[in-house]
Amino acid sequence: MIKIDYTNVMADMIGEINGILKEEILFFKDFVKEIQEEIKNERNKSFFFTQLPYQDTSLIKEVANKIREKFDFFVLIGIGGSSLGAEMLIQSLKGLDFNLNKKPKFFVMDNVDPEKFDTVLKQIEIEKTCFNVVSKSGSTVETIANFSIVLKLLKDKLGENWKNHFIFTTDPQKGFLRKFGKENNIQLLDIPSYVGGRFSVLTPVGLLPAAVLGIDIDDLLAGARKMDFLSSEEEKIKENPAILLSLIHYISNVRKRKTISVMMPYSERLSLFVDWYRQLWAESLGKEGFGQTPVKAIGTIDQHSQIQLYRDGIKDKIITFIQVEKSDIDYKIPEDLPEEINYLSGHSLHEILNKELLGTKTALVKSKVPNLTITLDKITSYNIGMLLYLYEYATGFSGYLYRINPFDQPAVEEGKNFTYALMGRKGYENKLKEFKKLYKEKYLLKIV
């Protein structure tokens, strides 16, 4: 079960300057219909992620089972859309202790920070490790850098047997990984051509690691199907979760000047869900001067860090709380506490967590800060499937509201090109010239 409580974004709760009028939502009625029609025509193209809940997962499960049998460690080499989805699924569905006394242990090599790379190496035995190299393009710098070092380590240790320690998840036709994988008879899994990194969690990119860790990926897809049905078919805005979510954020942004979208789960298991959302929201909608800046916060921790700002700083935020009703584990505060702290007696940690959320929400209402709450009755693969698909559809739909393309990321290329130039890559000689023209260290303060 998922519940979206959007009471506290509405004008009758927080006033018209910060809050939304029912009329402001209904105003979009015809436009919504038009967009839904456009999206229907794109379900096999740019909106191909809408097909993913209906896929056959047998190959993924077969590969996952082999990995579970043969290996003690599973390392994902990938970055951004190639790693955040898998990490999010595993943390939310296997819990914070997913690596404690369990097999296979899961690690990620995403960054080119040598210390992070080293820290992962220290925790695995390479001869018992399966490396899943994930890159849509097949040539992501960080991924290939990490891969090439691992490749050498494996060759040095295992000789020809290195080939059995890799699985490549990449474009079905193009790119270096596809070619190299074919040449070397490496197990290959496809990322459908139309699906970009940040929408790829329900492809083998997210599903293989999830299945390797023992997550019920069919149940996950069942949740996504439920949400797909509601989001694409339901015409009443008030009953359509994705369109409602999209409109609330869009109206808050363009009419109420909420340029920041904070997501604040009161569940540490969902903290990586926010990192996944951050990419989805920022990279899809942050273009042509549009888009909100997604901000991560964690309850209750950030009550002690950010709530002062959220309540009394600039009124540029809309906040989404994520709440979980039932916890698998809980701890009760003992009875017979000293008088000063006796009010805690008999309550449980999870109960305090959710009461703090209630207190925080209400304090925000008093300050007229719009906030909505998405409640899961429990963290289950079905609910997470619903939740992530809700955000995918809402993001795609929002692109159409802003009239921008939610599936490209043109502004990312420039930095990559300068990096290639600095690495001495062939064909980037002119970029290097441009770099030298642009790069200056003119204003500098040095302290020794």
Return the residues of window 212-251 that contact its own copies according to CB under 8 A: 226-227, 230, 238-239, 241, 244
Query: 232, 320, 360, 381: which one contacts its own copies (CB under 8 A)?
Result: 360
| Beta-strand runs (E) in 17-84 | 73-77
Considering only the stretches 31-39, 62-70, 143-151, 210-218, report the one whose residues sit in contact with its own copies under the rule CB under 8 A: 143-151
Question: Binding string to its own copies for residues 415 to 434, with x set by CB under 8 A, is what?
Answer: xxxxxxxxxxxx--------
Instruction: Rule CB under 8 A: say whether 312 interacts with its own copies.
Output: yes
278, 294 in Cβ contact below 8 A?
A: yes
The residue among 67, 56, 74, 368 whose CA lies nearest residue 221 is 56
Query: 28, 74, 107, 180: which one contacts its own copies (CB under 8 A)?
Result: 180
Instruction: Rule CB under 8 A: say whether 23 interacts with its own copies.
Output: no
Angstrom distance (rounded) from CA 4 to CA 327:
19
In the bound state with its own copies, the residue whose beta carbon lies nearer, of 31 and 229, is 229
Please report how close the Cβ of residue 403 comes to its own copies at its closest, in angstroms. 15
| Catalytic option among 236, 304, 426, 440 | 304
Instruction: Rule CB under 8 A: say whether 254 interacts with its own copies.
Output: no
Considering only the stretches 52-60, 187-195, 275-283, 391-399, report the one whose residues sit in contact with its own copies under the rule CB under 8 A: 275-283
Please report how close the Cβ of residue 412 comes to its own copies at its closest, in angstroms. 5
The residue among 278, 228, 214 whose CA lies nearest residue 85 is 278
Query: 17, 26, 254, 309: which one contacts its own copies (CB under 8 A)?
Result: 309
In Å, how far are 97, 279, 300 from 268, measured between CA atoms? 11, 19, 10
In the bound state with its own copies, the residue whose beta carbon lies nearer, of 159 and 439, is 439
Angstrom distance (rounded) from CA 98 to CA 276:
18
In the bound state with its own copies, the residue whose beta carbon lies nearer, of 43 and 311, is 311
Please report how close the Cβ of residue 60 comes to its own copies at its closest, in angstroms. 24
Angstrom distance (rounded) from CA 51 to CA 125:
38
| Catalytic option among 283, 287, 392, 431 | 283
Angstrom distance (rounded) from CA 40 to CA 336:
61
| Catalytic option among 416, 429, 433, 436 | 416
User: Looking only at residues 43 through 82 of this chain, which bind its own copies when binding is defined by CB under 8 A?
Assistant: 79-81
Is 304 among the catalytic positions? Answer: yes
Query: 247, 272, 298, 394: which one contacts its own copies (CB under 8 A)?
Result: 298
Angstrom distance (rounded) from CA 425 to CA 404:
32
Which strands sit side by side in the sheet containing 73-77, from one edge to the other? 105-109, 73-77, 129-135, 166-170, 187-190
Angstrom distance (rounded) from CA 12 to CA 35:
28
Instruction: Rule CB under 8 A: say whether 26 interacts with its own copies.
Output: no
Give the Cα-Cα-Cα angle 114, 115, 118 (nearest 5 degrees).
85
Instruction: Rule CB under 8 A: say whether 152 interacts with its own copies.
Output: yes
Give the Cα-Cα-Cα angle 236, 242, 244 (nearest 5 degrees).
55
Query: 30, 159, 340, 403: which one contacts its own copies (CB under 8 A)?
Result: 340
Is 283 among the catalytic positions? Answer: yes
Instruction: Rule CB under 8 A: say whether 269 interacts with its own copies.
Output: yes
In the bound state with its own copies, the residue whose beta carbon lies nearer, of 34 and 239, is 239
Instruction: Rule CB under 8 A: say whether 197 interacts with its own copies.
Output: yes
Considering only the stretches 35-43, 49-57, 136-144, 210-218, report the one whose residues sit in contact with its own copies under the rule CB under 8 A: 136-144
The residue among 223, 238, 195, 272 whose CA lies nearest residue 54 is 223
The residue among 319, 318, 321, 320 whose CA lies nearest residue 258 is 318
The residue among 132, 174, 215 whose CA lies nearest residue 383 is 215
What positions carry a catalytic annotation? 283, 304, 416
